[in-house]
Amino acid sequence: MANILNGKAVAQAVRARVAAEAAALVRTTGVTPGLAVVLVGDDPASAVYVRNKDRACREAGMASTTHHLPADTSESALLDLLARLNADRTVHGILVQLPLPKHIREARVLEAIDPAKDVDGFHPENVGLLTIGRPRFVPATPAGIVALLEAAAVDPAGRRAVVIGRSNIVGKPAALLLLHRHATVTVCHSRTADLPAVVREADIVVAAIGKPQAVKGDWIKPGAVVIDVGINRLPDGRLVGDVEFEAASRVAGAITPVPGGVGPMTIAMLLDNTLAAARRAAAVAAGVKDTP
């Protein structure tokens, strides 16, 4: 049986560390880390995510403000709000929850966030910094994946990593982080020929497809580490990942459960990014040169 990678416990430890460091920042600089979360529309899953981010922020001793705008908000009204948040010195991190309504151009919005406040790491400047190996803000879900691997003492160096999914939020940055940790990385997607054969080669599998139980247990190489990013609700109400958990856990060396694996890590890493943004803002205010 596989070692179950307990994301809930690792996330709790990260959150406790972030809370202690946030308290120290307040004590030493008077700066309270502040996150602004922007939610447009009424997607129920997004509303749950946003509520959880807001609560986690407060629990870590940070300030959090949620701006909930109606679904018919114009792109220019959203850009106006972002300009105000960019200029607000009490706001260190800005997160626009995705997906946005169809009439709003996502790229235009993400580019309007001050890169120094882009705690999601989605601004092209931060994507570029990550790509060249000088990360400023690492997107929270991929950051959570590598933190989980570290907590389980899994060193990707020299291993074959297969990332299934090529999204800007998870697949691409996860592949880069594994590459920077010296894994041999393959990125698979909907057009990949013979996906099972590629996955069978993997020492580390990252499944970020968004399809329930699409990765079958008999695709997993014995002893492989399986990171399941999927959160899918079945018609019977059960939450499952992108991997067939029962079958995969019989062959894997380690595997993340759903729920309780990658999910809790995402929020923890967002808090970590918000703390880092506040730290940098406090250092800039104190006259220290900005890095990077």
12 part of the active site:
no
43 part of the active site:
no
Which residue out of 8, 42, 43, 53 is catalytically annotated? 53
The reply on whether position 274 binds ligand GUN by CB under 6 A is no
Helix (H) or strand (E) holding 34: strand 34-40
| Minimum separation from the CB atom of position 98 to ligand GUN (A) | 4
Which residue out of 42, 54, 80, 97 is catalytically annotated? 97
Q: Supply the DSSP symbol for 101.
A: P
The reply on whether position 95 binds ligand GUN by CB under 6 A is yes
The footprint of ligand GUN on residues 214-233 (CB under 6 A) is none
Compute the distance between CA of residue 41 and CA of residue 50 in angstroms, rounded to an integer: 12
Which listed range, 72-80, 89-97, 203-211, 242-250, lies at the site for ligand GUN (CB under 6 A)? 89-97
| Minimum separation from the CB atom of position 154 to ligand GUN (A) | 23
Residues in the chain: 292
Judging by beta carbons within 10 Å of its beta carbon (0-12, 13-18, 19+), is residue 88 exposed, middle or buried?
middle
Q: Are 271 and 18 in contact (CB under 8 A)?
A: yes
97 part of the active site:
yes
Which residue out of 117, 118, 120, 221 is catalytically annotated? 120
Q: Are 13 and 77 in contact (CB under 8 A)?
A: no
Q: Which of 84, 96, 62, 106 is nearest to 274 (CA)?
A: 62
| Minimum separation from the CB atom of position 82 to ligand GUN (A) | 13
User: Toward ligand GUN, which CB reaches closer, 141 or 249?
Assistant: 141
Compute the distance between CA of residue 163 and CA of residue 165 in angstroms, rounded to an integer: 6
Which listed range, 73-81, 93-101, 179-187, 230-238, lies at the site for ligand GUN (CB under 6 A)? 93-101
Residue type present at position 75: E
Count the residues of the shown chain that bind ligand GUN, applying the rule CB under 6 A.
8
Judging by beta carbons within 10 Å of its beta carbon (0-12, 13-18, 19+), is residue 213 exposed, middle or buried?
buried
Q: What does the per-residue mask of binding to ligand GUN show for 155-194, with x meaning CB under 6 A?
A: --------------x-------------------------
Which listed range, 82-90, 91-99, 189-197, 247-255, lies at the site for ligand GUN (CB under 6 A)? 91-99
| Minimum separation from the CB atom of position 145 to ligand GUN (A) | 12
Question: Tokens representing 247?
Answer: 């079958």
Catalytic positions are 53, 97, 120
Which residues here bind ligand GUN, judged by CB under 6 A? 95-98, 120, 140-141, 169
